[in-house]
Structure 1
Amino acid sequence: MEERERVGAGLIEMDEVFFECVYDQVKNVPAGSVCTYGTIAELAGYPKAAREVGLAMSRVQRAWNLPCHRIVNAQGTLAPTYAFGGKDKQRALLEAEGVAFLEDGAIDLAHHRWPPTGEPEQLALPL
């Protein structure tokens, strides 16, 4: 059965094309930076599909070696406790890359958000 999720005014199909587009963008997030689910959705060409990006992240297999720990919510808080072996594990991975946290435990997005311009641009796929 196909998975479908209502997003904005239309439906998106969460198929292999969607997942590939999301994972291609996740690969681009450099060490020492984080990106939000919503920004990954925009960069992948699926604006307003932040929840679907979260689903895509939950399906990543360790063997794929994707830097999923660099994808966070819009407030800069860490993933739920079941992801990455828990929040402490995700935090340790990010801190090892030089990501700073604020006193409230959120990531300092002002210094570590990627892309740094604040407005994502569609990344070109190789021809």
Structure 2
Amino acid sequence: MIEMDDVFFERVYEQVRRVPAGSVCTYGTIAELAGYPKASREVGFAMSRVQRGWNLPCHRIVNAKGTLAPTYAFGGHRVQRQLLEEEGVTFVDDETIDMARHRWPPLDEPSGPEQLALPLG
């Protein structure tokens, strides 16, 4: 089990900040990029702690299937979908994002923390 300390949260939030508009990233990928492989659930917990004033694009973080967050997050599925659509994200059905088109980083780009992680501090 990982220690969800301030370093963990800052690394996770730093990676979330990097997801560009019009793209989505999975909880698992954020965990890997932050240096915590297999910590997707912990990333989900970190997302639940985000305050509105932090200006993090949490609506761009989705599960591995590309489905929208649980109804209690972001004010419900409609709100998250609206935010994503305003950025140009497209869907293959009511709740599923076109991951082949909008996944970040794209599968053909390096995704290890050593290639994409930002320096802390």
TM-score (structure 2 length as normaliser) = 0.92
Runs of 4+ in 1 over 3 A off after TM superposition: none
Q: Does 1:55 align with 2:49?
A: no
Q: Does 1:81 align with 2:71?
A: yes
Could you say which residue in structure 2 is the equivalent of 1:115?
Answer: 105
Name the SS of the counterpart of 1:12 in structure 2: coil
Could you say which residue in structure 2 is the equivalent of 1:13?
Answer: 3
Flag the structure with more relative contact order, 1 or 2, with Cα contacts below 8 A and sequence separation at least 6.
2
CA distance in 2, matches of 1:61, 1:28: 18
* Aligned-partner residue type, residue 37 of structure 2: P
Name the SS of the counterpart of 2:79 in structure 1: helix
Structure with more of its chain in strand, by fraction: 1
- Computing the radius of gyration from Cα coordinates, the structure with the larger value is 1
| 1:46 aligned residue (14, 24, 36) | 36
Q: Does 1:103 align with 2:93?
A: yes
CA distance in 2, matches of 1:22, 1:65: 14
CA distance in 1, matches of 2:59, 2:104: 13
Equivalenced residue count is 117
Deviation at 1:35, TM superposition (A): 0.1
Identity of aligned residues (%): 72
Alignment RMSD: 1.3
Name the SS of the counterpart of 2:2 in structure 1: strand
Deviation at 1:125, TM superposition (A): 1.2
Could you say which residue in structure 1 is the equivalent of 2:118?
Answer: 124
- Gaps spanning 5+ residues in structure 2: where? none
Aligned residues of 2:91 and 2:97 also touching (Cα < 8 A): yes
TM-score (structure 1 length as normaliser) = 0.88
